[in-house]
Amino acid sequence: MTVMQHIWIVLGVLFVFLNIAAGLIWVERRLLAMWQDRLGPNRAGPLGLFIVLADTLKLFFKEDWIPPFADKWVFILAPAIVVASVLMGLAIVPFAPGIVVADLNVGLMFFLAMSSLGVYSIVLGGWASNNKYSLLGALRGASQMIAYEVFMGLSLMGVVMLSKSFNLTDIVAAQENMWFIVTQPVGFVIFFIAGLAETHRLPFDIPEAESELIAGFHSEYSGMKFGMFFIGEYLGISLISAMTVTLFFGGWLGPAFLPPVVWFFLKTFVFIGIFILMRASLPRPRYDQLIGYGWKLLLPLVLLNLLVTGAIALWLRS
Amino acid sequence: MLETDHIHTQLIQRFGPDAFQQQITADRILTLWTSKSNIVSIIEYLKSNNFPFLYDLCGIDERDRAGKEKLPVADFTIVYHLFSFKQNEFVRLKVALTGEYPSLPSITALFPNANWYEREIYDMFGIRFEGHPHLTRLLMPLTWQGHPLRKEYPARATEMGPFRLWDEKQDIEQEALRFKPEEWGMQSHSEDSDFMFLNIGPQHPGTHGVLRIILQLDGEEIVDAVPEIGFHHRGAEKMGERQSWHTYIPYTDRVDYLGGVMNNLAYLLAVEEMAGIKVPERVKVIRVMLCELFRINSHLVWFGTFAQDLGQLSPVFYMFTQREKIFDIIEAVCGDRMHPNWFRIGGVAQDLPQGWDRLVREFIVHFPKELKQYNDMVLRNSLIKARTKGIGVYTLEEAIEWGVTGPGLRACGFEWDFRKKRPYSGYEMFDFDIPIAQNGDCYDRSVVRVEEMRQSLRIIEQCLNNMPEGAYKADHPLTTPPIKKHTMQDIETLINHFLNVSWGPVIPPGEAMSCVEATKGANSYYLVSDGNTSSYRTRIRTPSFAHMQMIPYISKGYTVADLLSILGSVDYVLADIDR
């Protein structure tokens, strides 16, 4: 590939995902409204699509307030980290054969590393705000993310064992005959749960918990800095959905009547929809229940999954 | 009556005949005047003899009362209402006090819920309670001058002169807002840790109104919680003293603003008792039907917001949709939705409109199905169960000690419903059950409320099928608006009508207390008339006040997240607390 091609792919991925993230404003609100017997935003433009524009404009024109009691530079840095880390994570996702920003041989490790960085935005944002609600949110966020990171990584090791590679293109290719959802259902469930926790979406929105902590770690944020957290969350949803598709649902693979890229995005949108459905239907557990659930139930389960997968893989080879 | 006579004799045997002076009241509750030196021992005696429940505690400024010569000499009176579940009787004790700013001994050592009631009396009348642990203002700001329910205190803003905020005054007010934990009875650190103080409110999505709860936190664990109330205080009791008996009805709508006409009923029962009005059967049934519609309505609001407090976003939309359907019925009948102001002294404002039965029947047919869905969605959800089971637990003894009524009491396994036990407005004619639960935690309180909606529906169905024919207002000269039928034939009726329209009715002197099972618990209006066009004293006993007072007690040791479950499950309305 030429340098120009690379640049086009990078720009293309950026363009597509930033637009998806923005578009999710509309998608989420319309879907939630549908499930909640409401109409949702339907006035601006066709089907209310321009709400995206209106929301973005609003965020840009809001006063970009930095509280005088906040730690100014950290306060500014925090929202940037969330967007940056998620976008970096998207770099290793193969959308179709050849369309990938960085075809790393340790792609999966890179993804885990980047998603781990996301916790910094919560901790720093909550700390720098110098607000008690933010601090509580940040503390909750930190312990939640650390707990769920552990088995997010472990849940994927089954896939790695079966495909014998950390490279995502190889992993997709290894699913030519059978998607890993069939052989790794437990891995999928746990990865998806961990993914919900990573993006701190309901029922894992403990760091925000609007009925308890106002808006948790980003209570003090306004304007485009808040917008960054907002976009970061939607990007995170897209990333986890894209990764779920890549790792367990055969990535771009699908019957030939549609091009691979289309298959990939179709599957991804299904998972984005599930993220939103979760939000529409589930209540929020308490923070200690959530952490307990992670360490006491999911961790043993994921280890067991690993053990069984390894045993079967060895047995098949012999 | 036999029961109360029995208590009377017992008390006289114990304390001697000179200790008491009996007063006959319109509501036939045993009313005894006594002295302040005796009151604590009398209450202690009653508490250990079947009267374990301090129902209400209020003050009266007697200085302007017409016809007070017949009563014991008093400038101020403190009125204690004790209740016995066993004998199903109230006892009213009155302590006469003389002097500008008198004082009397506190009973907080006997009843923990006397704490806020005594603070309220101090706040409103300036009467001091000796031995009270923390006698500060409760409803008014700490910097407030004067005591609003005293008769010399103006009831209208125009009587007070223009408001001015001088620089110094602003500084004082600002300084008064500075948070000092000690002033609220809290320590800023213990031996091994510094505490964090977190203000839940006055602006907070989880408090359902303007309420401030100061949390003393060790990590996320609640060491202590101090509610600050009064942000919603509008002086509803003071307004009762300047509105006519009739024009006060709309104010009652806004006390428990989710209860709508149920508040009218509580007020009117007391007024009608004093006026000696017997309402026709049709009025009773119409009133019951609307009250039960409002009960379902209020419980639906609770159900939705409770789920939302626990992080479930969707239920509130379904429940509010359903609530709209009830509002459609209420609007068709009353012409208004939340505050219909539709009951009148001696009846209701109009007859039921044509076609009301079709609306109600439609609702009765489809609501159970919906309710089952909501129940499956919220209460059968395992995450909700995990958030609410074993949280905010209190036992039956604690509930009684703190003055808990309504679903909160029934969730402790005690089958007590004033509709059943002391029927009013014809509830004795209806067939319904009292739902109870056993554990007294957040979950059980919720289960009781959901079942109550089903029972309310049963009552509404019986109203629908057995609506009696007849007048929608009693044939009595004191009803409002006054009956106009014969005004053009005889001059007496015309004069009477003219006076009742222009001044409003004059309710004969007397005292009465109603007691209704409102949406959140027992709601009472204790009215004192001195034969005037407006009440001499209007005392509103609201359930939420007692329930809010208990929140620190039941939330200690839980986390911030649990506090929200507790607040949600207690189901209070801020206007009902502050009045």
Nearest Cα residue in chain B from A36: B314
Average pLDDT over residues A91-101: 81
Is B311 within 8 Å of A202 when comparing Cβ atoms?
yes
Cβ–Cβ under 8 Å, residues B59 and B124: yes
What is the domain range of residue A243? 65-317
Is A283 within 8 Å of B381 when comparing Cβ atoms?
yes
Average pLDDT over residues A148-156: 85
Is B220 within 8 Å of A136 when comparing Cβ atoms?
yes
Residue B223, phi-psi category: left (phi > 0), alpha (psi -120 to 50), beta (remainder)? alpha
Nearest to A289 among B196, B308, B386 (CB): B386
Closest CA to A262 of A245, A237, A240, A244: A245
Nearest to A280 among B196, B314, B386 (CB): B314
| Residue at A54 is within a domain | no
Is A32 within 8 Å of B220 when comparing Cβ atoms?
no
Nearest to A211 among B308, B383, B559 (CB): B308
Q: Tell me the shortest Cα–Cα distance from A131 to chain B, in angstroms.
A: 10
Q: Tell me the shortest Cα–Cα distance from B382 to chain A, in angstroms.
A: 9
Residue B403, phi-psi category: left (phi > 0), alpha (psi -120 to 50), beta (remainder)? left
**Residue of A286, A289, A293 to mutate for B, most B C-beta atoms under 10 A:** A286
**Whether residue A104 has pLDDT greater than 70:** yes
Q: pLDDT, tens digit, for every residue of B71-91?
A: 788 889 999 999 988 888 888
Is B312 within 8 Å of A205 when comparing Cβ atoms?
no
Sequence-ordered alpha helix ranges (H) in A130-167 = 132-163
**DSSP letters for B74-97:** -SEEEEEEEEETTTTEEEEEEEEE
What is the rounded CA–CA span in Å between residue B242 and residue B118?
Answer: 24
Tokens of B377: 């969605």
Q: What is the identity of the amino acid at A217?
A: F
Q: Where are the domains of chain B?
A: 2-151, 236-578
What is the rounded CA–CA span in Å between residue B129 and residue B122?
Answer: 8
What is the rounded CA–CA span in Å between residue B261 and residue B254?
Answer: 9
Per-residue pLDDT, B540? 92
Which residues of chain B make contact with A287, given a CB cutoff of 8 A? 220, 559, 561
CA distances from B159 to A225, B65, B152, B163 (A): 51, 21, 11, 11
Nearest to B560 among A35, A202, A212 (CB): A212
Nearest to A210 among B205, B318, B560 (CB): B205
Which residues of chain B make contact with A37, given a CB cutoff of 8 A? 317-318, 321
Query: Would B2-151 and B236-578 be classified into the same CATH topology?
Result: no
Nearest to A280 among B313, B387, B559 (CB): B313
Which residues of chain B make contact with A285, given a CB cutoff of 8 A? 383, 386-387
Nearest Cα residue in chain B from A284: B311
Give the CATH number of domain B236-578. Answer: 1.10.645.10
Nearest Cα residue in chain A from B309: A211
CATH superfamily for domain B2-151: NADH:ubiquinone oxidoreductase Nqo5 subunit (3.30.460.80)
Per-residue pLDDT, B3? 55
How large a percentage of chain A has pLDDT more than 90? 3
| Residue at A212 is within a domain | yes
| Residue at A52 is within a domain | no
Cβ–Cβ under 8 Å, residues A25 and A55: yes
Nearest to A203 among B220, B311, B564 (CB): B311
Closest CA to B80 of B29, B128, B126: B29
Largest CA distance in chain A: 67
Which residues of chain A make contact with B317, given a CB cutoff of 8 A? 36-38
Q: Tell me the shortest Cα–Cα distance from A43 to chain B, in angstroms.
A: 20
Cβ–Cβ under 8 Å, residues B223 and B559: no
Nearest Cα residue in chain A from B203: A214
Residue B229: CB atoms within 10 Å: 23
Tokens of B460: 């509404």
Nearest Cα residue in chain A from B560: A212
Is A284 within 8 Å of B312 when comparing Cβ atoms?
yes
Per-residue pLDDT, A1? 66
What is the rounded CA–CA span in Å between residue B309 and residue B76?
Answer: 44
| Residue at A90 is within a domain | yes
Q: Tell me the shortest Cα–Cα distance from B76 to chain A, in angstroms.
A: 44
> Which residues are bridge partners to B32 per DSSP?
B22, B93
Cβ–Cβ under 8 Å, residues B532 and B510: no
Q: pLDDT, tens digit, for every residue of A19-33?
A: 888 888 888 889 889
Nearest Cα residue in chain A from B215: A132
Cβ–Cβ under 8 Å, residues B30 and B8: yes
Q: pLDDT, tens digit, for every residue of A198-213?
A: 888 878 887 777 777 7
Per-residue pLDDT, B1? 46
**DSSP letters for B358-406:** HHHHHHHHHHHHHHHHHHHHHTT-HHHHHHHTTSS---HHHHHHTT--T
Which residues of chain A make contact with B312, given a CB cutoff of 8 A? 281-284
Closest CA to B115 of B136, B88, B96, B97: B136
What is the rounded CA–CA span in Å between residue A86 and residue A108?
Answer: 14
Is B310 within 8 Å of A283 when comparing Cβ atoms?
yes
Is B383 within 8 Å of A284 when comparing Cβ atoms?
yes
CA distances from A45 to A15, A18, A23, A72, B469 (A): 22, 20, 14, 38, 56
Task: Give me the number of domains chain A comprises.
Answer: 1
Is B384 within 8 Å of A283 when comparing Cβ atoms?
yes
Instruction: Give chain A's contact residues with B (Cβ, < 8 Å).
Output: 32, 35-38, 132-133, 136, 202-203, 205, 209-214, 279-289
Q: What ipTM was estimated for this complex?
A: 0.82
Which residues of chain A make contact with B310, given a CB cutoff of 8 A? 211, 283-284
Q: What is the identity of the amino acid at A130?
A: N
What is the rounded CA–CA span in Å between residue B295 and residue B455?
Answer: 10
Cβ–Cβ under 8 Å, residues B265 and B347: no
Q: pLDDT, tens digit, for every residue of B211-239?
A: 888 888 887 788 888 888 888 898 899 98
Tokens of B38: 């005796």
Weakly modelled stretches of chain B, pLDDT under 50 = 1
| Residue at A73 is within a domain | yes
